[in-house]
Amino acid sequence: MKQSQGLNFHASFLETLLSNIKDEESFHELYIHLKAPIYAYSLSLLKNKEDALDNVQDVFITLYREIDSYQPNQKPMNWIFTITRNAALTKLRKKRITVELEGNENSIPFSKKEDQLVFQFFMEQLKEEERNIILLHLLWGFKHREIATLLNSNLSTVLSKYHRAIKKLKEMEEEHE
């Protein structure tokens, strides 16, 4: 089966793709696997679909350009995460207050009503940090301990926020079942 889900794949697989990034096929493969996690985290920070999509583009262009500065055996997802976050923060700085104004206008069309609900819940009901922890764990594959380091927090906080958020997610699901 083709690995179409960008989750749970092995770091060495990612490493291989990265080292061959100038090869069109590898680059494309990388894109297929990573566009969702990168987009999700960008959206979580930027809170605006257009900006998040822009950020996805910028991140891939940066990966392509800066590949020489990546040292193999480093953790590839950490490197990609740093690039994603920096790119988003730069945009955020430029956008300043407008973020708050546009924050709630995430009218993204979904084919299924259920998806719409989950998405809205995710973006609006969860606090930004809870959302980031969930994303980084489930989509980026970071361990809780790693997330604590990335978000400058500690393990017990990350764990309790993670569980609280998952619980809320489940409760929401059940309500709508």
CB 38 within 8 A of CB 56: yes
Q: DSSP per residue over 52-94, as a string?
A: HHHHHHHHHHHHHHHGGGPPTTS-HHHHHHHHHHHHHHHHHHH
By CB under 8 A, residue 31 contacts other proteins: yes
Query: Any contact of residue 143 with other proteins (CB under 8 A)?
Result: no
CB count within 10 Å of CB 104 equals: 10
Regarding 119 and contact with other proteins (CB under 8 A), the answer is yes
Helices (H), the chain: 11-19, 24-46, 49-66, 76-95, 98-102, 113-120, 128-138, 144-150, 155-176
Query: Would you count residue 105 as binding other proteins (CB under 8 A)?
Result: no
**Shortest separation between residue 115's beta carbon and other proteins, angstroms:** 6
Applying CB under 8 A, which of residues 15, 16, 70, 139 lies at the interface with other proteins? 139
Question: How far is it, in rounded angstroms, from Cα 36 to Cα 101?
Answer: 25
**Distance in angstroms (rounded) separating the CA atoms of residues 109 and 113:** 9
Q: Counting contacts by CB under 8 A, is residue 61 touching other proteins?
A: yes
Of 158, 117, 113, 131, the closest CA to residue 46 belongs to 131
Is residue 147 involved in binding other proteins (CB under 8 A)? no
Of the listed pieces 10-18, 72-80, 134-142, 146-154, which binds other proteins according to CB under 8 A?
134-142
Residue 65 interacts with other proteins (CB under 8 A): yes or no: yes
Least distance to other proteins from the beta carbon of 166, Å? 7
Q: Which stretch binds other proteins (CB under 8 A): 11-19, 63-71, 73-81, 144-152?
A: 63-71
Q: Site residues (CB under 8 A) for other proteins?
A: 5-7, 24, 27-28, 31, 35-37, 39-40, 43, 49, 53, 56-57, 60-61, 64-65, 69, 92-94, 96-97, 108, 110, 115, 118-119, 122, 134-135, 138-139, 163, 166-167, 169-170, 173
